[in-house]
Chain A
Amino acid sequence: MLSHAQSICSFKLKSLKAGILALAATASISAFAADTAKVNTTGLAITDDTVTVGILHSLTGTMAISETGAQEAEKLAIKQINESGGILGRQIKIIQEDGASDWPTFAEKSRKLLVKDKVAAVFGCWTSASRKAALPVFEKENGLLYYPTFYEGLEQSKNVIYTGQEATQQILAGLDWVAKEKKAKTFYLIGSDYIWPRTSMKIARKHIENVLGGKVVGEEYKPLGNTQFGSVINKIRLKKPDVIYAAVVGGSNVAWFKQLKAAGITSKKQTLLTISVTEDEVLGIGGENLEGFYSIMKYFQSLDNPNNKAFVKAFKEMWGEDSVIGDVTQAAYLGPWLWKAAVEKAGSFDIDKVVEASRTGDIELTTAPEGYVKLHPNHHLWSKARVGQWNKDGQATVVFESELIEPNPFPKGYQ
Chain B
Amino acid sequence: MQFIYEKLLGGKQGAVGFFILAALILIVLPLFLDMFRLNLVGKYLTYAFAAVSIVLLWGYGGTLSLGQGIFFGLGGYAMAMFLKLEASSPENTAIQSTPGIPDFMDWNQLTELPWFWLPFHSLTLTIILILVVPAAFAYLIGAAMFKRRVGGVYFAIITQVIAVILTVLIVGQQGFTGGINGITDLRTLNGWDITTDSAKLIFYFLNAFLLLGVIIVGRFILTSKVGSLLLAMKDKEDRVRFSGYDVANFKIFIFCIAAVIAAIGGAMFTLQVGFMSPSFVGIVPSIEMVIFAAIGGRMSLIGAVYGTLLINFSRTMFSESFPELWLFLMGGLFIGVVMFFPNGLAGIWQSYGHYITRYFAFADKFFPKEKTNLPQLNTKES
Q: A136-B184, A136-B187, A154-B107 are in contact. Are A107 and B320 (CB under 8 A)?
A: no
Does A199 touch B at the CB level, under 8 Å?
yes
Does B279 touch A at the CB level, under 8 Å?
yes
Q: A111-B36, A133-B277, A136-B274 are in contact. Are A59 and B323 (CB under 8 A)?
A: yes
Q: Is the CB of A128 within 8 A of B273?
A: no
**CB nearest neighbor in B for A131:** B181
Within 8 A of B (CB), among A336-392: none
A residues near B232, Cβ cutoff 8 Å? none
A residues near B43, Cβ cutoff 8 Å? 104, 108
The A contact surface, by secondary structure, is helix
* Bound CA span A104–B274, Å: 9
* Bound CA span A208–B246, Å: 63
Report which of A111, A135, A195, A223 forms a contact with B185, defined as CB distance below 8 A: A135
Q: Is the CB of B274 within 8 A of A224?
A: no
Within 8 A of B (CB), among A165-214: 193-195, 198-199, 202
Q: Is the CB of A129 within 8 A of B323?
A: no
A residues near B180, Cβ cutoff 8 Å? 128-129, 194-195, 224
Does B62 touch A at the CB level, under 8 Å?
no
**CB nearest neighbor in A for B106:** A415
A residues near B275, Cβ cutoff 8 Å? 103-104, 107, 132-133, 136
Q: A194-B180, A195-B180 are in contact. Are A60 and B327 (CB under 8 A)?
A: yes
Q: A103-B279, A104-B43, A115-B36 are in contact. Are A98 and B319 (CB under 8 A)?
A: yes
Report which of A59, A112, A132, A193 forms a contact with B181, defined as CB distance below 8 A: A132
* Chain B interface residue number, banded: 35 or more
Q: A60-B319, A103-B182, A132-B181 are in contact. Are A116 and B36 (CB under 8 A)?
A: yes
Report which of B36, B174, B320, B326 forms a contact with A195, defined as CB distance below 8 A: B174
Within 8 A of B (CB), among A73-125: 97-98, 100, 102-104, 107-108, 111-112, 115-116
Does B179 touch A at the CB level, under 8 Å?
yes
Q: Is the CB of A129 within 8 A of B182?
A: yes
* Bound CA span A364–B323, Å: 37
Does A221 touch B at the CB level, under 8 Å?
yes
Does B336 touch A at the CB level, under 8 Å?
no
Q: Is the CB of B195 within 8 A of A102?
A: no
Does A140 touch B at the CB level, under 8 Å?
yes
Report which of A107, A132, A135 forms a contact with B273, defined as CB distance below 8 A: A107
A residues near B114, Cβ cutoff 8 Å? none
* Bound CA span A194–B181, Å: 8
A residues near B185, Cβ cutoff 8 Å? 132, 135-136
B residues near A136, Cβ cutoff 8 Å? 184-187, 195, 274-275
Closest-CB distance, B240 to chain A (whole angstroms)? 42
Closest-CB distance, B359 to chain A (whole angstroms)? 37
* Bound CA span A104–B319, Å: 14
Chain A: residues with Cβ within 8 Å of the partner, total of 33
Closest-CB distance, B50 to chain A (whole angstroms)? 15
**CB nearest neighbor in A for B174:** A195
B residues near A415, Cβ cutoff 8 Å? 97, 106-107, 109
**CB nearest neighbor in A for B272:** A104
Closest-CB distance, B239 to chain A (whole angstroms)? 45
Q: Is the CB of A60 within 8 A of B171?
A: no
Q: Is the CB of A223 within 8 A of B168?
A: yes
A residues near B104, Cβ cutoff 8 Å? 195
Closest-CB distance, B207 to chain A (whole angstroms)? 15
Report which of B108, B109, B171, B273 forms a contact with A104, defined as CB distance below 8 A: B273
* Bound CA span A111–B274, Å: 13
B residues near A132, Cβ cutoff 8 Å? 181-182, 184-185, 275
Closest-CB distance, A73 to chain B (whole angstroms)? 19
- As a 0/1 sequence over residues 254 to 292 of chain B, the CB contacts with chain A under 8 angstroms (1 = contact) are 000000000000000000011101010000000000000
Closest-CB distance, B275 to chain A (whole angstroms)? 6
A residues near B, CB below 8 A?
59-60, 97-98, 100, 102-104, 107-108, 111-112, 115-116, 128-129, 132-133, 135-136, 140, 154, 193-195, 198-199, 202, 221, 223-224, 410, 415
* Interchain Cβ contacts under 8 Å between A and B, 17 examples: A98-B320, A98-B323, A104-B43, A116-B34, A128-B180, A132-B184, A133-B184, A133-B277, A136-B185, A136-B195, A154-B107, A193-B172, A198-B174, A223-B171, A410-B95, A415-B107, A415-B109
Beyond the given A116-B34, A128-B180, please list 10 additional residue pairs across the A-B interface where CB-CB is below 8 A.
Answer: A112-B36, A129-B180, A129-B182, A132-B184, A136-B184, A136-B275, A154-B103, A194-B171, A410-B95, A415-B109
What are the 5 A-B residue pairs with the smallest beta carbon separation, nearest first?
A194-B180, A132-B184, A129-B181, A60-B323, A132-B181
